[in-house]
Chain A
């Protein structure tokens, strides 16, 4: 039981996540990428008849949507049924930096100051949840993939395009962390 609730070290999780690529390729000829499902969702309710979403989403996406339902179930098992009761063992310098920005609650997977139904009623929480989600969706499709499609699958296939996308991910991430977050928090 302890084995299921304790966190998994990075050197075990990394290789297993990497194995998702050959497993999906060999078991179904599928290329691993989560954000394609956001496009399938748009295709499923394409009321505005936007051309980018005019395709047979059931045919193209049934396997990936099923994979995504599995991910929700896996999240339920890992984060609810077998949840780790301890706070995350973060680097001390990160904790100090975040405390300076006003983050006080380090329990759980996410800070309730920013990510909770209560936080949604605050301007900062609204920006984090609504604008954050919007940018992830818009940016992933604009870049043609997200962390799984580019950083894992694309780099696994040594695609230059994916390396450029990952560089983009870090340009945006560093701008947010060092310039924008200190303003909005």
Chain B
């Protein structure tokens, strides 16, 4: 049933958006607090999320756990030799993250929370993605 598949991802996304708001990860104030190293809040959230993620991925890999359809779980490796794209692109992302106080997930969760003006940065982010796609071949990677 395709509809159940959609429902599954809708529910996981709903839980994700709810927790992003409840933990205040979506807050411009919390992002400022993080970049000023004034609180453990954001570091604790990202740090514990990564710890749980690492343990889970290790368990999945060690035991060759299959997904619910029976397919082997594979995680495509990222090419670390393209260090320029990660440092330059990452820095551009960081400038935007601190300026707007929201990364992509929180932009959409904030829109849902009634901060309707978030549609402007969302559209800008789509334009930014499109401009990257146009310039991609002339950028260092």
Contacts and interface: CB of A to CB of B under 8 A. Distances in A.
A151 B82 CA distance: 17
A88 B21 contact: no
Interface residues of B, number: 116
Q: What secondary structure prevails in chain B residues at the interface with A?
A: helix
Given A19-B52, A75-B18, A172-B96, A93 B104 contact: no
Interface in A54-78: 62-64, 66-78
A16 interface: yes
Nearest to B59: A22
Chain A's interface size range is: 35 or more
Interface of B: 5-6, 8-36, 38-42, 44-54, 56-57, 59-60, 65, 67-69, 71, 73-80, 82-83, 85-105, 107-118, 120-134, 136, 139
Given A26-B65, A90-B38, A143-B90, 13 more contacts: A10-B23, A10-B44, A14-B45, A25-B56, A25-B57, A63-B9, A69-B13, A75-B109, A97-B38, A128-B99, A139-B89, A168-B89, A181-B98
